[in-house]
Structures are given as structure tokens and as C-alpha cells.
Structure 1
Amino acid sequence: MNDAHIAALIGGGTGILGVLLNNICIAVMEGWSNRRKGKRERSYLSILVVSHLDRFANGCLSVALDDGTAYGEPAGADGCHEVTVRAPTFLSLEIEVEWKVLPESLMFDILQIPDKHASIENRLDGILEFDDPPGYGEFFGARQRDYAELGLHVSAVAKRLRKHAGMPFRDDLSGELSRDSRMQQVINKIDEKRAAYEKRMATSSLN
């Protein structure tokens, strides 16, 4: 092998090495750019969706506190209890974000919220159809409890989303804690009332 051949081989090897190094640099830059883009998308999604989730949870609390009265009196005509607070809405698929940046379990729980909400409304429609005026006690008890339970679920999902995105938690969470504790109080109160009623019915059936 003469010097010319050696020089050619060295030149060819240098060229190949240069191409490889260039491709590696491009791949690294693209990976870095994609990570930055993914982080921006995740941050944008989290900020926007957490806001929607918190508003929905606040709406659930309002429904959970609605017993069909206004200022201590039945809200409807002829002494009937009537809904005074409209149910909140959460239309996840109308929020324009890149949902695929989330882990599957978290994405599923968020996108399933409208289905859970619809299931509650369908159940309440069936209860109301056969409930008795003027108090509609079964309907309002179920409505208050179901929305309190849904609100707690949504609040927990919002916390998971904040944690996943590395969002800083607010220094003052008293409002959120108060909201969640009030919804839990609604559930406890209704459960205690139902347990007492069932106990009375069981006792009366023995007499």
C-alpha cells in the first residue's frame, strides 16, 4: 500500500467520522429541543387544566351544599324544594392541549371526568322521577353526596397533575383544604343521616 492509498483511506475515514459526529450532534440537538417542547407543552397543559379542574371542584361544592332551599325556606313554588345551583361542566376534549404528554393513568382519569359526571346526572334523573314532593329528600341527598364525592375525586386528580408537572404548590392552600373538608363533611352528614334512618327502620320492623 503506497502513501497515496494510505492518505485516501485516512481522508475517507475522516470524512465518515465527520458525518457520524454531525449526525450525533443533530440527534442530540433534536432530543434536547423535543424535551424542551415536551416540558413546555406539559407545563401549559397543567396550568390550563388545573384551572379547569379547580373551577369544576368549586362547582361541585356549590351543588353539594344545595339542599333545595333558599334562605332556609323551600326554593320552589308551593313549598317544594327546588335546585338552586346549576351543575358545573368540564368538557375535557374541548380543552386544546396535547393530552399525550401525560402518563396514561392520569390522562385517563382526567378524560373520564365528563363520563363520571354524565353517569351521576343519569342516576339523579331516575331518582327524581320517582321521588316524593315537597322535599324530594332522596334526590337531594343523592345529588349532594354524589357531587361532593365527584368534587373530591377531581380535587385529587388536580393535585396529581400539579405533582406530575412539578408545579409549585401555593403557600396558602386554606381555600382548597376548606373546599375539600366541606365536601367531606357533606358526605359524612348524609351517611350519618342514612345510617340513623336505617337503624330506626330496622328497630321498628322488630316491634
Structure 2
Amino acid sequence: MIQAIISSLIAPATGLLGVYLGGVIATKREEAAFIRQQKNNAEYAVIRILCVLDEYAEKCTDVVCDDGTSCGRPAGRTSSGEEFYEPQVKCPEPPVFPSDIEWKSIPNNLTYKILMLPVKARDVNRDILMSSEHSFPPRYEAIFDARMEGYAKLALSALELAKEIRGNFKYPQESTRFNALSDDHRAFLNNKVKEIQMRQGESEVDRSDSARNSEVQETNQ
């Protein structure tokens, strides 16, 4: 009698335990599958993002190398034969990333840095446009300085971001044309920024000295 009662209680409990364990196992499998899918999505997204960043860094560097000359001479020429410096490389459009990227599969801090790069690029293009108001022939120094400095900084941002992404996802530190770890490449870009900033600082000092001299002359008169 007692044995029958115990058996009648154990059977349903065993059934419930089996259902519970089956549910737990199924949930764990779904979680594991979701994690694998997220990882695959992230890795695929990163490959596509790196391709965009590498290409953009190359285009930015091409702008930095453009000094407005062709075969060692000013590239532009007026109808009257006067030479002037003219850009030979078109500024690239801000980087565009594929619209179907699963951004949630990428760490938030990286997503923020990636999506901020096009914003920085648009800011640089606005600065270049504004510099045209203070740029005069034949050299158009303000325009070329804004182009070279702005795009050197953008190239550095793209290269450093690509380097960080490769480090996080353990991809080789390389790009299609410029090695992301190349000291020479980064040094070239950094030196170009410093060169322009130094020249701009010297020009500012010259303008200040000229203004003070003019004030002194007006006072003496």
C-alpha cells in the first residue's frame, strides 16, 4: 500500500523534473546559439568596417600628399598664363558604413568611435570651405593647410581606430596599402600636422607684429 503511494508520487515528480531539465537544456542551447550568432555577426561586421577604414585612410593620405603641383610646377594656369597652385586630389566623401551592419554586436565604445568618424570628416570639410575666404592666389595657403591638416588627422583617426578594432578582435595588424602599425606612415602624418601648425603660429606672430607696428606708426604720426 505504502509502496504504491510512493510510486504514484515519484512518477509525476520524475516527469516534471524531466520537463524542467529539458527546458533548461533547450534554453542553454538557445543561449549558446545566440552567443555564437552574435560573435559571427560581430566578426563579419568588423571585417566590413575595417575595409571602409583602410580605404578611407588611403584616400585621406592622398589628400595630405597633394601640394597643388604637377610635375614639380603649380598645377593651375589662368587664361593669361599665370600659374597657381590647384588641388589635384578630390577630398573624399565621409566614410559610409554598410547599412545592414549589426551594430549591437560590436562593443558600444567602438561603435561610438566608428560612427563619430563621418562627423569629424564633415567638420573638416566645413573648415576647408571656410578657409577659402582667407586664401589667395597663387599659393592658396589657407586652403591647402586646412586640407592637409584636416585629412592628416582623419587618416590618423582611421588608422588608430582600425588598429584598436584589430586588437580587440585579434585580426592581423595590416591594411591594403599602408600598414596600420607603420611608424613611418604615422610619423609622416603627425609631422605634417606639426609643420602646418608651426607655420600657422609663425604667421599669427607676423600678423601681430605687423599690427603693432602699424599702431606705433599711427601714434607717431
Do residues 106 (structure 1) and 89 (structure 2) align?
Answer: no
Residue of 193, 196, 201 corresponding to 1:195: 201
CA distance in 1, matches of 2:172, 2:140: 44
Give a deviation string over 1:44-85, Cα, whole Å, max 9, x none: 111221121011011111111212222221111221221111
Measured at CA, do residues 178 and 51 of structure 1 come closer, stay the same or move farther in structure 2, by a change above 3 Å?
farther
- In structure 1, stretches of 5+ residues that fail to align are none
Measured at CA, do residues 107 and 174 of structure 1 come closer, stay the same or move farther in structure 2, by a change above 3 Å?
closer
CA distance in 2, matches of 1:90, 1:196: 31
SS for the counterpart of 1:92 is: coil
Structure 2 residue aligned with 1:115 = 119
Please show how residues 29-178 of structure 1 align to structure 2 within 5 Å.
29-78=29-78, 79-170=83-174, 173=179, 176-178=182-184
Give a deviation string over 1:116-171, Cα, whole Å, max 9, x none: 1112112211221442122111111111101101111111111111122222335x
CA RMSD of aligned residues (A): 2.2
CA distance in 2, matches of 1:127, 1:35: 50
TM-score by length of 2: 0.83
Measured at CA, do residues 35 and 48 of structure 1 come closer, stay the same or move farther in structure 2, by a change above 3 Å?
same
Contact map agreement 1:68 1:75 (CA 8 A) in 2: yes
CA distance in 2, matches of 1:21, 1:174: 50
SS for the counterpart of 2:138 is: coil
Segment drifting more, 195-204 vs 70-79: 195-204
Measured at CA, do residues 20 and 175 of structure 1 come closer, stay the same or move farther in structure 2, by a change above 3 Å?
closer
Q: Which has the larger radius of gyration?
A: 2
Contact map agreement 1:141 1:190 (CA 8 A) in 2: yes
- In structure 2, stretches of 5+ residues that fail to align are 214-221
Measured at CA, do residues 174 and 122 of structure 1 come closer, stay the same or move farther in structure 2, by a change above 3 Å?
closer
TM-score by length of 1: 0.88
CA distance in 1, matches of 2:36, 2:125: 41
Compute the displacement of 1:173 (Å): 4.0
Measured at CA, do residues 141 and 102 of structure 1 come closer, stay the same or move farther in structure 2, by a change above 3 Å?
same
Q: How many residues align?
A: 206
Contact map agreement 1:52 1:90 (CA 8 A) in 2: no
Compute the displacement of 1:183 (Å): 1.0
Structure 1 residue aligned with 2:5 = 5
Contact map agreement 1:41 1:101 (CA 8 A) in 2: yes
Structure 1 ranges of 4+ moved more than 6 A: none
CA distance in 1, matches of 2:116, 2:43: 21
Contact map agreement 2:43 2:169 (CA 8 A) in 1: yes
